[in-house]
Amino acid sequence: MFYGKMKSVCMRYTRDHDQAMDVLQEGFVKVFTNLEKYTGVGSFEGWIRRIMVNLSIDRFRKLKNDHVLLGEHDNLEDWDIHSNDQDDMEEDGEDAIYDITPEQIVDAMQQLSPAYRTVFNLYVFESYSHQDIAEALGISVGTSKSNYAKAKKNMKKLLSKSLNLNLTREDE
């Protein structure tokens, strides 16, 4: 009953389908072995979702030493990332509508570095504050904010590249 929704949650936190399936399987094993711990407070789906998210956070913590946390050495050399931070935070001011599929969004998210992807998911989809993210991941609040801003910028670039559009502002 919850397989599809939880698979989507896991896909957002992992780089590929196989990793998502590993987290999903581990999550459902945990759900079934801890079923008696569900108190009935809140929705059952929400309880399962929290388990999946917590497992994804745990996976990130285990792997974080294998990755550059700040994400500054990601494979993004071919991207022109040199605008100032103020420009990154400003919106274009245009109300454009793009035909972007959920699959394209998940694909773009999976291309983000683990640090960017995890912070982005926790902030956008799980409504964590930057303070909560910092505590959960063992990083500073500033790093959380920086990773979120860079994740947004990189998502725009990835989606733009995917759709052959220019969704980002041009400097100069």
The domain tally of the chain equals 2
Could you list the residue range(s) of the whole structural domain that residue 17 is in? 3-66
Q: What is the pLDDT of residue 66?
A: 52
Q: Do the domain assignments include residue 168?
A: no
145 and 95: one domain?
A: yes
98 and 153: one domain?
A: yes
Q: Do the domain assignments include residue 78?
A: no
**Segment 64-77, tens digit of pLDDT:** 655 444 444 333 33
Of all residues in the chain, the percent with pLDDT exceeding 70 is 75
52 and 117: one domain?
A: no
Alpha-carbon separation of residue 98 from 20, 41, 156, 161, 162 (angstroms)? 27, 39, 12, 13, 12
Lowest-confidence region among 24-28, 102-106, 126-130, 167-171: 167-171
pTM metric for this prediction: 0.66
58 and 92: one domain?
A: no
* 34 Ramachandran zone, left/alpha/beta (phi>0; psi -120 to 50): alpha
Q: How confident is the model at residue 34 (pLDDT cuts 50, 70, 90)?
A: very high
